Chain A
Amino acid sequence: MKQTPKALVSLFVAIAFALPASAEKRPSHLDMARAAIETDIIPHIDAFKAAAHALPDAVENVCTSGSADARQALNKKFADAVVAYAGIDYLRFGPMAEKGRREQISFWPDPRGFVGRQLRLMLLDKNEKILAPGMLAKQSAAIQGLPALEILITDKDKPLGPGEAVQYRCKLAQAIAANLVRLADEVADGWEKPSGWKDKMLNPGPDNDTYRSAEESAVEVVKALLVGISLTADLQLKPQVDTKIRLTPPYQKAGLQKAFYGASVKSLNQLYNTLHLEAYLKPDLAWMKGWAVGTWRTIRSIDGAGGRAADAHRPDTPEVREVFDRMNGFRNIISNRLSVAAGLTVGFNELDGD
């Protein structure tokens, strides 16, 4: 029988899964942390930084010309920034956690509607002082970042442009764009500068005030992965499963809900693959590797808005409920099995206390 290339790939995958997991090279804990930082975290942060830097000019072009092309370009640049941010949304430690930067970049979820309310007040007040460089950083986190900019650029009743009536809106949009550049720069610098967070994680030891061992550095990354899976399941999928929950999806006004979900799970999948936790599994648990591949395939087969992902690899489209359940189960497997096998014990209380 002649084998098609697709069938050969399947066969290869099947053989690969049949091999004992221990055949893989086991990365050290420091290697895990290094790979995660250098392969996933910093490239994603740099991508966000680049996307943020493109915003001020794009906003200015719309405010100067008001042309359809400029609007289209701004929408594209905004989508790029949202997608890039989705790739680092799981980073709730280090420079992102300092000075409330994460909330300032992306104030979501927003079940109380703070962003819209605060923005309305600002637009009524038209206070020029807060538009001065650096002043927006002293205002509420809700109006400092991407969700506030989203409202301004998607408002069809008062679109940004050169007109007098929207002059303050334009200035505010430019201030928000500049603020996003500042935040992205601070996060990137916080990670990448000498003695920054990257160095801190990759040089653990008794004198390190945060990471005393390589295990602690690697556990930090595993915790971030678990947090990311929880956030995606609880905030993006659960409202679709439980209709009693009223929570506006991320960046829905700009039509980016699917893009946000896709970028979130793609980034988490990459981080998971980078860690190579399965290399530590004993042969009798090697099946988990195949199960994990299937789970990621399932997670990435939906678009996060009730439909099928454009790049889905599962032949059928799973129900959101199934994806939600598998994400929760997967989180438990990572926490209780895979990380334990790799000598990375993530405590029940330290992970999610109260």
Chain B
Amino acid sequence: MSEFRGRIEAAIPALRRYARALTRDTETADDIVQDTLVRALRSEHLFQGGDVRAWLYTILTNLNRNRLRTLSRRPSISPIKDGDASTSGPESGGRDIGRALDELAEDQRSALLLVVLEGLTYREVAEIQGVPIGTIMSRLARARMQIKAYLDGERPALRRVK
């Protein structure tokens, strides 16, 4: 196996983790990971060095954003969630972190998960999302503020644009 493929393979478990947290559905998450891998293999000859892992996160993030846009135009189809809230014990007074993440705007959720769960740097996340670092920081700030409000029991806020 080439070094390139070796690096892709090493990233798969983390990609699954990120995708699952993003989509909160095992099948959907694995669909997206599979699609990410297929695209990565397809583009193998285009890869010009650099960080394979960050590149894979970029593909996955784009695919999920595309998926959500499609869903938003088909209101009859809603994503199926993990049975988390109903099956696992309530955290933080009946509101759990999974649901709190669901309430976030996609870019905020993605930024927070890439930093907190995947351990990427602000700079890496900025490149993945294609925005300046300052934007990443404001996404993190809003995400954290909203999660706090949610877990503290406030009504789920509408996605606010400040």
A and B together in one complex = no
Q: A residues within 8 Å of B by Cβ?
A: none
